[in-house]
Structure 1
Amino acid sequence: MRNVFSGPAARWALIGGLALATVAAFGYVGGWLAPRRLTPQRLVDTLQNNGGLHPGYRRNHAKGVCVAGWFEGNGAARAYSTAAVFDRVRTPVIGRFAIPGGNPYAPDGSVPIRSMALRLNLPDGEQWRTGMNAMPVFPVSTPQAFYEQALAGRPDPATGKPDPARLAAFFAAHPEAAAFRAWAKQAKPSASYATERYDSINAFYLVDAQGGRHAVRWAMLPQASDARPGPAGDPDYLDRDLQQRLAQGPQRWTLRITFAAPGDPIDDAARAWPADRKSIDAGTLVIDRMQPQDSGPCRDVNYDPTVLPAGIEPSADPLLATRSAAYADSYLRRTAEEAHLPGTARAATETAR
């Protein structure tokens, strides 16, 4: 496989392109911004223009696969949250693995980021939806900065790639992206969804029985340890790798919850917390089966990260509200398109609420 990190221009183009694809997972604009400045529709239009129109597919993370299994709580988080999912119980999960970008035919090795989205169905009818990515921080702090980056990352019609000079100018004006850029320079595409760590990146609050609020971020840590680079020359290895692993047995991740200390940035996803912060392991995610995304149960799920059970609350991070608003817009577009695609059958029991 050619080294895409070689040369200054190629490096800028790769960093900008992967940052754009990644922030598309998070950097959606909520309706609370002035309509003439930014709206969910305007931003989704920009993502669609950048990634191309593929009817029936998500406008970002278009290439993916449905998975299912359960989460088994161990009781360790019950002192910090009343959410029933943290009891010593088994909670059914409908999930999705994907890579960033709006092209459902993109090579798996085109970006080094993988994503995990989950919907946990609690016994009382509540749901916990979460979308996580295999990266340590978010590139920018605000919806407006993301929109500016999306414009800077628009592919040049002549090359099909972002203009390195335009991206360089954007990053020069946004020093908060330094941590993400440093990570992106050394990141390489892995060969498996099962060996990735997936981080919430945004912060949330756990709420205990006394009403106490605890600022946290969480991550799914893989129990599989045979991480390796993706195979050269194979554009579709991730689904096949997962199928082979599941044929040998369920795949597992440990849910690790990390607590903020006084002074840590709660509402800024571009800033990491120090590595020495208190953390607990709250349970185990088990994935035991997969289905194609065009017919599997994840197809019609909107993985809005602000859909939370009692005992978990969103922080004031503006990217959370923006994700919710534009996920809804993207969902309406693709489901309307699916209804008009030949041979498409709607699965009413799995529609997102």
Structure 2
Amino acid sequence: MKNRYLVLLLAPMVSAAAQEPPKVTAQQFVNLQQGEAAHEGFRRAHAKGICVTGEFRSNGQLATYSEAALFEQGVTPFIGRFSVAGNNPTAPDLKAPVRSLALSFAMSSTEQWRIAMNTPPVMAVKDPHTFYQQIQAIQAGPKAIQAFFAEHPESSDFLSWKAQYQPTGSFAAETYNSINAFYLINSEGNEQAVRWAMQPKVFVPADNLEGVDALHQEITNRVVKEDIVFDWMFTLANEEDDENNPAKAWPDSREQITAGQVVITAVTPQLQGECHGINYDPLVLPTGIEATRDPILRARSAAYAESYRRRAKEALMGELEGQGNE
């Protein structure tokens, strides 16, 4: 652990403005993600999803690293969401390249934690401007994205993961990663940089899946029979790791701590569930958790907020139009 106050006092006051890449606004990101025709009332990215509810059962193993109440031994409920990548809420589940899990914990009226995780363990790039260019290349087609990766050697860890990744046959069988690093802060002000992953307890092959809503149907059927369980595993960085670079994987030899289990007990179609109205902003953090200086983390937060603003406005306009027709 590092003493965060000592680090702040000793940090050199060096301006990095000349080294910063061009700025990309949240509006530009969301415009690119939604495309020419927005699906009103839905998220601009990961538009297709399903709500989940359940609880985190903490074993208390992280209590010495963070003063977050969530890590004290006990149980905390959550509202979450499984989703697939893309801007179309009716797209086929199995064609999406990324699957996601988001969780929202409300420890009290003033303490919340919102988490957004994806199947890749790292980003392909380390700054928002280059990430924007990556999305442009993806939309331009296979040759463009191939040329993009050839020009960006920092994508090597992402490409290594991509080469070996095999989608499973269930949301319940995927590993979901924080991608970005955060600091755990304990009561003495010591900080520990971490990444985390939700590790599944089941393996489900994708052999027999079919249909536009294959993953949604599978998870709906599964939760009727059994709870869906993930181990919440935290990886602790050491001095050699750069917590501000989301494109660099940390070695498997790093210390890991299992904080407990995330248990999903029910699923609900997203338009009927509470998750649809939640902005899973990764910078909504409780006491005991703080953001690193990772610039993509802040870009994600800004883009989520802009997407939420647009769909909330569309929902309100729809309600007003409905009242006008009564």
**d(CA) in 2 for partners of 1:329, 1:343:** 21
Cα distance, 1:153 vs structure 2: 2.3
Pair 188,235 (structure 1): closer, same or farther in 2 beyond 3 Å: farther
- Code of the aligned partner of 1:134: T
- Code of the aligned partner of 1:202: N
Q: Following superposition, which runs of at least 4 residues in structure 1 exceed 4 angstroms of deviation? A: 342-345
Cα distance, 1:235 vs structure 2: 2.0
1:164 and 2:149 equivalent?
A: no
Q: Which of 111, 115, 129 is matched with 1:130 structurally?
A: 115
Pair 192,124 (structure 1): closer, same or farther in 2 beyond 3 Å: same
1:247 and 2:224 equivalent?
A: yes
- Code of the aligned partner of 1:333: R
CA contact (8 A) 1:112 1:188 kept: no
Pair 344,252 (structure 1): closer, same or farther in 2 beyond 3 Å: farther
- Code of the aligned partner of 2:38: L
> Cα RMSD over matched residues?
1.9
Q: 137-146 vs 178-187, which deviates more?
A: 178-187
Correspondence 1:290-329 to 2 at 5 A: 290-329=267-306
Aligned residue number for residue 334 of structure 1: 311
Cα distance, 1:325 vs structure 2: 0.9
Cα distance, 1:344 vs structure 2: 10
Aligned residue number for residue 43 of structure 1: 29
- Code of the aligned partner of 1:176: E
- Code of the aligned partner of 1:55: E
**d(CA) in 2 for partners of 1:344, 1:44:** 25
Pair 344,146 (structure 1): closer, same or farther in 2 beyond 3 Å: farther
Pair 344,139 (structure 1): closer, same or farther in 2 beyond 3 Å: farther
Cα distance, 1:37 vs structure 2: 4.2
**d(CA) in 1 for partners of 2:207, 2:316:** 35
> How many equivalent residue pairs?
302
Cα distance, 1:191 vs structure 2: 1.2
Cα distance, 1:260 vs structure 2: 0.3
TM-score by length of 2: 0.88
Q: 116-125 vs 67-76, which deviates more?
A: 116-125
Cα distance, 1:65 vs structure 2: 0.2
| Structure 1 runs not aligned, ≥5 long | 1-33, 155-161, 346-353
1:148 and 2:133 equivalent?
A: yes
Cα distance, 1:272 vs structure 2: 0.4
Pair 262,297 (structure 1): closer, same or farther in 2 beyond 3 Å: same
Q: Which of 218, 238, 243 is matched with 2:215 structurally?
A: 238
Aligned residue number for residue 13 of structure 2: none
SS at match of 1:38: coil
- Code of the aligned partner of 2:216: D
**d(CA) in 2 for partners of 1:344, 1:201:** 41
Q: Which of 96, 100, 120 is matched with 1:111 structurally?
A: 96
Q: Which of 43, 49, 62 is matched with 1:64 structurally?
A: 49
Aligned residue number for residue 88 of structure 1: 73
1:175 and 2:160 equivalent?
A: no
- Code of the aligned partner of 1:220: M
Aligned residue number for residue 40 of structure 2: 55
1:270 and 2:256 equivalent?
A: no
Superimposed CA distance per residue, residues 42-78 of structure 1 (whole angstroms, 9 cap, x where no aligned partner): 111111117x411111000001000011111111101
Pair 307,136 (structure 1): closer, same or farther in 2 beyond 3 Å: same
| Structure 2 runs not aligned, ≥5 long | 1-19
**d(CA) in 2 for partners of 1:242, 1:311:** 33
Cα distance, 1:340 vs structure 2: 3.0
Aligned residue number for residue 216 of structure 1: 194
Superimposed CA distance per residue, residues 237-276 of structure 1 (whole angstroms, 9 cap, x where no aligned partner): 1111111111112111111111001111211111100001
CA contact (8 A) 1:67 1:95 kept: yes
Cα distance, 1:214 vs structure 2: 0.4
Aligned residue number for residue 25 of structure 1: none
Pair 111,182 (structure 1): closer, same or farther in 2 beyond 3 Å: farther
Percentage of identical aligned residues: 43
Pair 338,277 (structure 1): closer, same or farther in 2 beyond 3 Å: same
**d(CA) in 2 for partners of 1:37, 1:46:** 15
